[in-house]
Amino acid sequence: LDDEFLKDNNENSENFRQDKILPDLETDMPSRAWRRMSEKQTFKTVAPLNIHSPVKPDCLRFVCLSDTHSKLHVDDMSKFYVPPGDILLHAGDFTMKGRPLEIERFNEALGKLPHKKKIVIAGNHELSFDDSLFTEANCFGESIGTVERYLKTKGLKSVRGLLTNAIYLQDSMVTVCGINIYGSPWQPRFCDWAFNVIRGEEILQKWNWIPENVDILITHGPPVGHGDVTKAGINVGCVELLNTVQKRVKPKYHLFGHIHEGYGLTTDGETMFINASSCTKGYKLCNPPIIFDVPLPPGQ
Ligand code: 5GP
Ligand code: MN
Ligand code: MN
Ligand code: MN
């Protein structure tokens, strides 16, 4: 397959004419796919808003975190300051292994934060949230039996119930003051962690569940081209996710984390892409939360 053929097949033929998004032929080579795709679109990096700035009038303030990896201890705000706001969003990897104790500590930290609503998705580190792994003994360093007995003492069937201070989204949506927020934990397979799926058709099926009326999309992993460059200098984001965002869903904001070194904001002119990874590549909690203000819809 030469370059011309791929170009034709991806952008001029059925793929492009149909409303339906098809898997990209170069999906397994995201750097290469992005080089091709980036020629035909706007791409800009965006400076983050000062986290101490006042909220714009008639707006809701969103405060974004991701990849806090069991390091969020809000008792000492001098170490990691979480600014106030209306809604806190967390794009997954709030633990290292998804152990109940880690989930409870994260939930406690959330409880101490002032935001009226906290919306959380899982990442690949939340092993116990992935039903397909929960059947495997010791998948996260504790025997399933021990975890199940522990949950039973709390009257819970699943670890999700431990997140009492959050709205947990998993391929689901919540509407807050007229703003639709959808969350999804899936990412392209890497080292067999939770919510891993194969690039192409399989991951596209997950993205096909995202409804069109989403204003804020939260996924754990980045789309290709935005906040997805690793230390090695390669893009590892999901090609099908970028196509879904740009061609079909067109949310105002797309929040994610997962590639810690991709922290920051970028835009394609229609969607603001936010990699809010709070931890660095070395799992040090020091990237400040990213904030944005959304005008309240009429009547809210
Ligand atoms: P985490 O283990 O917290 O999900 O990801 C931590 C780091 O692992 C990321 O910052 C990134 O450096 C690396 N990583 C995660 N997923 C991928 C991937 O799909 N490909 C590559 N090359 N590195 C990844
Ligand atoms: Mn839309
Ligand atoms: Mn992470
Ligand atoms: Mn991750």
Q: pLDDT of 137-173, one tens digit each? A: 566 777 788 888 899 999 999 999 999 999 999 999 9
Say what the pLDDT of residue 139 is.
Answer: 63
Q: Which residues contact 120 (CB under 8 A, 6 or more apart)?
A: 89, 90, 92, 94, 110, 163, 166, 167, 168, 169, 183
Instruction: Tell me which residue has its CA closest to atom 17 in ligand 1.
Output: 190
CA atoms 126, 129, 130, 132: torsion sign: positive
ipTM higher than threshold 0.90: yes
Tell me the per-residue pLDDT of 32-52, one tens digit each, with 9 for 90 and over.
Answer: 999 999 999 999 999 999 999
The verdict on the CB of residue 124 being under 6 Å from ligand 1 is yes
Answer for the pair 62, 85: CB distance below 8 angstroms, yes or no.
yes
Answer whether 260 contacts ligand 1 (Cβ < 6 A). Answer: yes
Atom of ligand 1 nearest to the CA of 187: 19
Nearest ligand to the CA of 254 is 2
Enter the pTM of the model. 0.93
Q: Which atom of ligand 1 is nearest to the CA of 188?
A: 19
Contact present, 125 and 93 (Cβ < 8 Å): yes
Any idea which residue has 């983050």 for tokens?
Answer: 48
Measured in angstroms, how far is the CA atom of residue 214 from the centroid of ligand 2? 5
* Structural element, H or E, at residue 147: helix 144-153
For residue 191, the ligand closest to its alpha carbon is: 1
Residue 258 CA to ligand 1 centre (angstroms)? 6
| Ligand 3 mean position, distance from CA 192 (Å) | 14
CA dist., res. 277 & res. 66, Å (int): 5
- How far, in Å, CA of 186 to CA of 223, rounded? 12
258: Cβ below 6 Å to ligand 1?
yes
Ligand number, closest to the Cα atom of 248: 2
- Tokens 């069991």 sit on residue: 70
Provide the pLDDT for residue 182. 98
User: Is the CB–ligand 1 distance for residue 236 below 6 Å?
Assistant: yes
| CB-ligand 1 contact for 104 (6 Å cutoff) | no
Residue 19, Cα to own-chain centre: how many angstroms? 25
Show Cβ contacts of residue 64 under 8 Å, excluding neighbours closer than 6 positions.
88, 89, 90, 91, 255, 274, 276, 289, 290, 291, 292
Closest among 245, 188, 254 to 219, alpha carbons compared: 254
pLDDT of residue 78: 79
Residue nearest atom 5 in ligand 1 by C-alpha distance = 258
Ligand 1 atom with the shortest distance to the CA of 230: 12
**pLDDT confidence of residue 206:** 98
190 lines ligand 1 (CB under 6 A): yes
Q: Which helix (H) or strand (E) holds 181?
A: strand 179-184
Q: Which residues on adjacent β-strands are paired with residue 88?
A: 63, 118
Query: Given ligand 1 and candidates 236, 241, 281, which is best to mutate, with the most ligand atoms within 8 Å of its CB?
Result: 236
Ligand 4 centroid to Cα of residue 137, in Å, is 22
Q: What is the pLDDT of residue 4?
A: 44
CB 43 within 8 Å of CB 69: no
Residues of the chain predicted below pLDDT 50: 1-18
Q: Is 252 helix (H, G, I), strand (E, B) or coil?
A: coil
CB-ligand 1 contact for 230 (6 Å cutoff): yes
Radius of gyration of the chain (CA): 19
Q: Listing from the earlier edge strand, what are the strands of the sheet with 179-184?
A: 44-46, 264-267, 272-275, 253-256, 216-219, 179-184, 172-176
List all residues 6 or more positions away from 268 whose beta carbon is below 8 Å from its beta carbon: 41, 42, 43, 226, 246
